[in-house]
Amino acid sequence: MTTSVSLAEPRAQDAQQHFDIRALDAPLGAEVIGLDLTQPLGVADFARLHRAHLDHHVLVFRDQRITPEQQIAFSRRFGPLQIHVLHQFALPGHPEVLIVSNIVENGKPVGLGDAGHFWHSDLSYKEKPSLGSMLHAQELPAEGGDTLFANMHLAWDTLPDHLRRAVEGRSAEHTYLARYAELQARSPWRPNLSAAQIAQVKPVEHPVVRTHPETGRKALFVSEHFTTRIVGLPEDESRALLEELFAHSVREDFLYRHVWREHDMVFWDNRSLMHLAAGTPDHLRRKLYRTTIEGDAPF
């Protein structure tokens, strides 16, 4: 299998830290305990993290007091970074960082407040969807704000035979605009898109079942947020099939609910998972910084 991950970091190839990787009591995920991402991370330690990410699909880095520059540098070790189409919500001076926040200052939102409102895999609407995303907590609410993750390998492994036959060899269309107008109508977080922004998010087609480029495992690759139709099926059949796939994908026994702690950074594999923001009460402030790593064209 291919990988674009770079193990090298010239400043710290031989550095070594002592940390633990502990699997969560969930169908996916592991905690990284004792690692300090403000310190040099050598080749062996990085390779261990990379392997854990492939094995567990979500890594939770506890108590990371890192700067945006350090988050960007760590993210880049896994591959090139992608810039979100809503550049209005980029961190000033750092276009690679998307501000995910419900905070409004001087009458204007500081970030994308309804990010993750529907189940999705980040940037599945691009020719090269995201390898993975890192989300670093800056300001957390006293209640709410959880993030749910669904294991799409398990979704495929347990897919009933009639659905397997229905999707075998098929592709689906993904588009960023699929539910944009719906989100825009219900919240202040979605600005009107310019012609240049719309040109960045033209519809694409990807396999309904993708093969992970590093592990070879198969996973469902459709979502209620961005997938609009199964290519080659009549509209009613396509919609009915997608509804069955969506419902199956988010069964309780496939899920991990992340309850955020101060300074958490969570790194998930968009080739293996979907995720969902569980919601934050309107009167409570929430702000996180997201970096997104470019992946490969799905196959």
The CA radius of gyration of the chain, in Å to the nearest whole number, is 19
The Cα 199–Cα 85 span in angstroms is: 10
Structure tokens at 83: 């810039």
Q: Beta partners for 287?
A: 101, 139
φ/ψ of 69, rounded to 5, equals -60, -40
3-state secondary structure of 152: helix
Alpha-carbon dihedral angle through residues 169, 173, 176, 179, given to the nearest 10 degrees? -110
Q: Using CA atoms, how far apart are residues 297 and 299, in angstroms rounded to an integer?
A: 7
CA-wise closest residue to 219 among 295, 167, 290, 161: 167
What's the CA gap between 237 and 209, in Å, rounded? 18
Strand residues in 53-127 grouped as ranges (E): 58-61, 90-91, 94-101, 104-105, 108-109
Q: What is the pLDDT of residue 130?
A: 98
Report pLDDT for 129. Answer: 98
Q: Distance (Å, rounded) from C-alpha 227 to C-alpha 206?
A: 10
| Averaged pLDDT in 10-residue chunks for the chain of 299 residues | 51 76 97 95 95 98 97 98 95 97 91 91 97 98 97 98 96 95 84 91 97 98 97 97 98 98 98 96 95 98
Q: Which residues are catalytic?
A: 120, 122, 275, 290
Q: What share of the chain is helix, strand, coil (3-state, %, to 5)?
A: 25, 30, 50
Rounded CA-CA distance 294/299 in Å is 15
CA distance 163 to 137: 38
156-195: string of b/e by CB count within 10 Å (b at 16+)?
beebeeebeebbeebbbbbbbebbbeebeeeeebbeebee
Predicted confidence at residue 7, as pLDDT, reads: 47
Look up the pTM and report it: 0.93
Going by C-beta distance under 8 Å and a sequence separation of 6 or more, which residues neighbour residue 137?
Answer: 260, 261, 262, 263, 264, 265, 288
Q: Which pLDDT score, from 0 to 100, does residue 10 have?
A: 47
H-helix or E-strand containing 167? helix 161-167
Measured between alpha carbons, how far is 269 from 214 in angstroms, rounded to an integer?
11
Asked whether the beta carbons of 145 and 258 are under 8 A apart, the reply is no
CA–CA dist 177, 175 (Å, integer): 5
- Position 2 scores a pLDDT of 47
Amino acid at 268: W
The pLDDT tens digits for 74-107 are 999 999 999 999 999 999 999 999 999 999 998 8
What's at 237, amino acid-wise?
E
Instruction: Report the pLDDT value the prediction gives residue 282, as an integer from 0 to 100.
Output: 87
20-294: CATH superfamily: Clavaminate synthase-like (3.60.130.10)
Q: What is the pLDDT of residue 1?
A: 55
H or E element that contains 139: strand 130-139
Phi, psi (rounded to 5 degrees) for 34: 95, 0
